[in-house]
Chain A
């Protein structure tokens, strides 16, 4: 085996220029593929974080049927035992309760339907960057009687911090709900739709207002950034009684985001596909040359008693080593760059960046450092190299010494 590897290794460096060109082409392909995919997948990750961490969370638990009929009557009792058991799942950072309902908000002659979110502000801070979104005033504490309104609502009612708003609606199981609360803070949710709709209320206050003591409509799962969403989803499902609860991932709750990413991702995959086609022909061309120009020599080796399997191993090893060097070089050079842009994301400038801002997205592209991107593209290159090796394997399998030695 050593002899085979020795021959292969020396054959690689026998024509340095050709080998270096092959290594360079593999390197460029790997570099570009990992760079592009890290950028693209990093951007999607950021989009998901923007949306999911702003509002929905990665996974939500509701009473069964709530998603189809989002009324307070589909709330469920908050059970500490259940929450504690969910928190034991690996990757789950916290379980955040919410009570969500709709109500009329009024001041003077103005009235508007709003969505009231009863939240535990201390727990929510682990999911949402509230301080960054606060325009004026302060965040309430869980025992306060003040509320936070979104900026467009404050503007609509022409209210500022310290002003009062009146609420009237229907509480749990048809109870009447009414109240008067002062504005403690005004917030920008970085999302035009949410800015016209949301009012945040301390959870306890929301429960009192709705006569829904200890009731919640949502349990939001806050997870570790690196934890697998699907894995946590499966484990939660295992722990919960399927007849009473429904568990939903963000993909199901916000399908439009998933579809947007899928469509955009197709373009990226197409580009990578073209890149790999080019590199495949490059590798195949090299393998063809390396085989064809050595047919005579291979014939001689066969004549003096070299087994075909050894010749095949030698040729396969040559193309694997060339690819491996290109892949390693690519990984080595691209890794610090993607890490740099992971820590210091690219900023999308100009109107495009502003448009993203207006829709609640940060105009940033933090590169993904997911090792799977690197592994996947390294494996693709190896597969291409192995497939390209089929040609010399076939050629050697049918090689006859006399015919090969006539090739000179």
Chain B
């Protein structure tokens, strides 16, 4: 289990839409190793986002469990789960989701402030991360003063700030133009290669799929293909 970052066991999620039951996930079991660069693909409604939400502890499975670093997160209480996410998981969202009233620098710092890290460390890491994503000159800009691509790069820096075990990215390039997509993918690939950061994406984007080292295909809530 040394290199296994995430293990899911018979994960199922059933939603109720009125009287209709929807099987968003159906007995999904898989493992993610440290340093993987994985794309989860599949048509709309195949369960990609639900799978990511459950792995990230944002949603709970109807049955089965998720184990991260020997912790069964499906059993954690809400407050413990918030704390677990803070220290173990980085998130990148499709709509960037930066805090609009904070600058790029403050958005990156935010997670470390929640963690209670000291100021000197925080300043250095914020500076390094923003330099790494190519935004060293724009640290004092608020999200509305940044382009979509720049915002998503801040989101990457924010996701990395807490030194998480892995980063979950839900369709991170969906709102980006091709230039920004390439830049973002380059940054994430570099982080993966050089720092061994584990990335798991859900995506429709062929450019992302092309860069992935592992591709998991979901259909109707089941893994139909898992190729490395």
Residues of A in contact with B (beta carbons under 8 Å apart) = 3, 7, 10-11, 14, 297, 300-308, 310, 400-402, 405, 408
Is the Cβ of B93 less than 8 Å from the Cβ of A302? no
B84-103 contacts to A, CB under 8 A, are 85-87, 91, 93, 95, 97, 99-102
Of B58, B99, B162, the contact of A303 (CB 8 Å cutoff): B58
Of A10, A300, A303, A305, the contact of B83 (CB 8 Å cutoff): A305
Is the Cβ of A297 less than 8 Å from the Cβ of B99? yes
In the bound assembly, the distance between CA atoms of A237 and B100 in angstroms comes to 66
B52-88 contacts to A, CB under 8 A, are 53, 56, 58-59, 78-79, 82-83, 85-87
Per the CB 8 Å criterion, the residue count for chain B at the interface is 26
Of B102, B115, B158, the contact of A7 (CB 8 Å cutoff): B102
Closest partner residue, chain A, to B53 (CB atom) = A402
Starting from the known contacts A304-B114, A401-B59, 15 additional A-B residue pairs (CB-CB under 8 Å) come to A10-B101, A14-B100, A297-B97, A297-B100, A302-B82, A303-B56, A304-B85, A304-B110, A304-B111, A305-B83, A307-B82, A307-B114, A308-B79, A405-B58, A405-B93
Of B53, B85, B99, the contact of A305 (CB 8 Å cutoff): B85
Interface presence of B30 (CB below 8 A): no
Is the Cβ of A402 less than 8 Å from the Cβ of B58? yes
Cβ of B125 to closest chain A Cβ, rounded Å:
16
Cβ of A18 to closest chain B Cβ, rounded Å:
14
A-B contact pairs, 24 of them (CB 8 A): A7-B102, A10-B101, A297-B99, A300-B93, A300-B97, A301-B99, A302-B82, A303-B56, A303-B85, A304-B91, A304-B110, A304-B158, A305-B82, A305-B85, A305-B87, A305-B114, A306-B82, A306-B114, A307-B114, A308-B82, A402-B58, A402-B59, A405-B93, A408-B95
Q: Which A residues are in CB contact (< 8 Å) with B83?
A: 305, 307
Interface presence of B113 (CB below 8 A): yes
In the bound assembly, the distance between CA atoms of A296 and B75 in angstroms comes to 25
In the bound assembly, the distance between CA atoms of A77 and B99 in angstroms comes to 82
Is the Cβ of B110 less than 8 Å from the Cβ of A401? no
Cβ of B155 to closest chain A Cβ, rounded Å:
10
Q: Which of A14, A300, A303, A305 has the most CB of B within 10 A?
A: A305
Evaluate whether A304 and B86 lie within 8 angstroms (CB atoms) in the complex, with A7-B101, A14-B100, A14-B101 already known.
yes
In the bound assembly, the distance between CA atoms of A307 and B111 in angstroms comes to 11
Closest partner residue, chain B, to A294 (CB atom) = B100
Q: Which 6 A-B pairs have the closest CB atoms?
A: A305-B86, A10-B101, A300-B97, A402-B59, A401-B58, A3-B113
In the bound assembly, the distance between CA atoms of A402 and B83 in angstroms comes to 16
Q: Which B residues are in CB contact (< 8 Å) with A305?
A: 82-83, 85-87, 111, 114-115, 162
In the bound assembly, the distance between CA atoms of A14 and B102 in angstroms comes to 11
Closest partner residue, chain A, to B83 (CB atom) = A305
Q: Which of A3, A297, A304 has the most CB of B within 10 A?
A: A304
Closest partner residue, chain A, to B88 (CB atom) = A305
In the bound assembly, the distance between CA atoms of A402 and B15 in angstroms comes to 13
Cβ of B5 to closest chain A Cβ, rounded Å:
18
Q: Which A residues are in CB contact (< 8 Å) with B58?
A: 303, 401-402, 405
Q: Mark B168-180, 1 if CB is under 8 A from A, else 0.
A: 0000000000000
